[in-house]
Amino acid sequence: MAEFTLELNDDQQQVRDWLHGFAEDVIRPAAAEWDEREETPWPIIQEAAKVGIYSLDFYAQQFFDPTGLGIPMTMEELFWGDAGIALSIVGTGLAAVGVLANGTEEQIGTWIPQMYGDPDDVKVAAFCSSEPDAGSDVAAMRTRAVYDRANDEWVLNGTKTWATNGGIANVHVVVAVVDPELGSKGHASFIVPPNTPGLSQGQKFKKHGIRASHTAEVVLDDVRVPGHCLLGGKEKLDERLARAREKAAKAGKDGERLKNAAMATFEASRPAVGAMAVGTARAAYEVALDYAKTRHQFGRPIIDNQGVAFQLADMRTQIDAARLLVWRASWMATTGKPFTSAEGSMSKLYASEVAKKVTAQAVQILGGNGFTREYPVERMHRDAAIYTIFEGTSEIQRLVIARTLSGMPIR
């Protein structure tokens, strides 16, 4: 088991510097253009694929880093470049992780390469879970998957929303209800192959921030997928549903523990979002610091004023504290240490709130310039708003933390 450390090893430092160079030389110069266009930055994704950043191999290497710091380091550097473009680069990973976590070896080998394509023909994938009436409340999901035994096919019907790459993806991974009586334990995940009839893009959202990342509804109208597209296979699903029904039949606490086990899965993924927020906050802080050193008012740099200097001191302190929480939670998840105090939610909550606060302070330090699109902090402030919303709102994180500390069930 890797010991917790605050120092990156030589290999990690090389990867970090490589990512930082790509973010600085390729992502940042293109950030304002793609934010204005509100389109998927295919040329940037292609550049990332050519150098090896947009690839399953690279993310697998970081995911299996024994220190747990590979993924948060990657996220921080890419999102330091630009949140919208970075999310376009890493968004496919959500679907890939869904297949890695639930799929058979054959499914992993078949579908994940199709999610990424190759440097000459890049593809993206979409993970479709949220619905118009089922965001934080996953038990309210309505998209149904019904098994057609005669044809060995699953028939999917419903509408998904807030899907990154939804509708433009080569491969969609869709979470659907197979047994409504079991709540979240009655869900299963399905691969929807390219060009499957019945799947269409619904509304494409025009967003406040992260505009370079495509977000849309995905409509499923009698979508028929072969039986082998059920992640994990029918036999494994039947066994899992049977166990869930048996446990659900028992009174009270067993059912609650079942729900808590499901929440633990979400806990492990939240530090990565925290790392994204740290990257955006750090970027805004650095712009504000440089501006405060060079902007003169009343015959001296504005950083000489306590009102500005103290803001920058607080900003840097909060960013470093957020990173420490993210790294701790990432290390705990990798080394199998239980989140007895909801440390995953803590890291996501604090880093998200810091990103909103720090980017707002950066706008204030730049004054009128910060309010214009001539300076990047305006965009960073808009982008930062998403961190307190997706992958569980700040309110949900506080609920998870409070109920974990109190021993109350997380519903």
Residues designated catalytic? 391
Residue 309: strand pairing partners: none
Q: Which residue type is seen at 293?
A: K
Question: Can you tell me which residue has the tokens 């890049």?
Answer: 122
Q: Which tokens go with 169?
A: 């993806």
Identify whether the C-beta of residue 223 lies closer than 8 Å to the C-beta of residue 156. yes
In angstroms, rounded to a whole number, what is the distance separating the alpha carbons of residues 360 and 197?
45
Residue 148: strand pairing partners: 153
In angstroms, rounded to a whole number, what is the distance separating the alpha carbons of residues 49 and 117?
9
Identify whether the C-beta of residue 298 lies closer than 8 Å to the C-beta of residue 307. no
For 88, residues 6+ apart whose C-beta sits below 8 A from its C-beta are: 40, 41, 44, 45, 124, 212, 213, 214
**Which secondary-structure segment (H or E) carries 158?**
strand 153-164
Which candidate, 353, 356, 405, 397, places its Cα nearest to that of 380? 356
In angstroms, rounded to a whole number, what is the distance separating the alpha carbons of residues 210 and 215?
9
Q: Which tokens go with 100?
A: 């890695």
Torsion angle (degrees, nearest 10) of CA 330, 335, 341, 342: 40
| DSSP code, position 68 | S
For 117, residues 6+ apart whose C-beta sits below 8 A from its C-beta are: 49, 123, 170
Which candidate, 320, 335, 258, places its Cα nearest to that of 3? 335
Identify whether the C-beta of residue 110 lies closer than 8 Å to the C-beta of residue 96. no
| DSSP code, position 24 | I
* SS3 per residue for 321-350: HHHHHHHHHHHHHHHCCCCCCCHHHHHHHH
